[in-house]
Structure 1
Amino acid sequence: MTLMTETVAPATKPVPRPRPRKTEIVSASALALHLDCSRAYIDKLEAEGVIQRQGDGFPLDQSRVAYPRYLRRERRQSPRSEADAGHVRVKTEMLQLRLMEKKRELVRRIDVDALVDDIAGVTLTALSSMPSRCAPRGDLAIRRSIERVVFEVRTEIARVGQEMADKCGESPLDERYG
């Protein structure tokens, strides 16, 4: 004896097709409440063409999509964002300069100027004492000759320094310290 079994597919419901959603139209006040802004701001958005009235209200879904796009576009165009970016650039540059200074890759100009002034002072003082140190005691002719050479060297140093300052656009010392 042979038994035949019959298989029956379970009853299935037909898969519902997505129905086109009915566009929900809301009033300006309801849209303002939904977007968390004022009624006057909704009027401004409508005047700028960000959102569009349909009939007696605004399509909620379209407005919900258009508003964040508008905000993103405004943020990219905002002068404040440009100012913020500029501020970040300047702050970054300042931090880089401080880091270079700490690494001794960069020195302040005032420190270099002080060092050069000190070296020049020692050099000029040593030059000025040369005639009395080099000339034999009582030999005024040699001493005057050495003094003349020292004066010429000091004059040449001053002339070269003045030319370098003029080339760099430095103001004269009497204007800076006088």
Structure 2
Amino acid sequence: MGPDDFRTFEEAYSVAANASGLRLGVREGAAYTDAEVLIAAGWSRARVGGVLLRLRSECDAVGLRNPPARTLPHLRTLPEVRAHLIAQAHRWRMDPAEAIATAVLAWWLQPVCAACQGRRFERAGGTARLSSRGCKPCGATGLSRVPHGEPGRRIARYIDDCVQGAQRSIAHRLRAR
């Protein structure tokens, strides 16, 4: 299972979480239905990763993925995820734990570089076109830097590990159906 499979499962989960009509598949070898993806997620042992996936799907539902502004609206699972990340930062003796966890969570939900809006290149002077010069603030990656240096990167790796654990668990459950 490669990295593309994980992205596919996250997209499938987001679509399933925001679907208005759910049906279970009954044919052997049929493609996974939205309902099956949600059932597999519910059975997943990776609780924190599952909540993070749910938070991302809520962001998708309100169109929050990669907007220019870095404000977070009221999302149902946001307080639970934020509290868990703050507790983890406290366990790792990070100071200030609340500021680090909150900033990294906001970055994880909206990691796009504000200077180039994720396009990786600078704008050509006075036009709407992009130049051939890479964006300097993000190093032409299209992504902003993780806030708070090494402590922030540790929290970001923890978030990614939790999400990957949930995706692996969902994939395992879907294959076992």
Please indicate the TM-score interval, normalised by the length of the shorter structure. Answer: under 0.3
Q: TM-score, normalised by structure 1?
A: 0.22
Q: TM-score, normalised by structure 2?
A: 0.22
- Greater per-residue helix proportion: 1
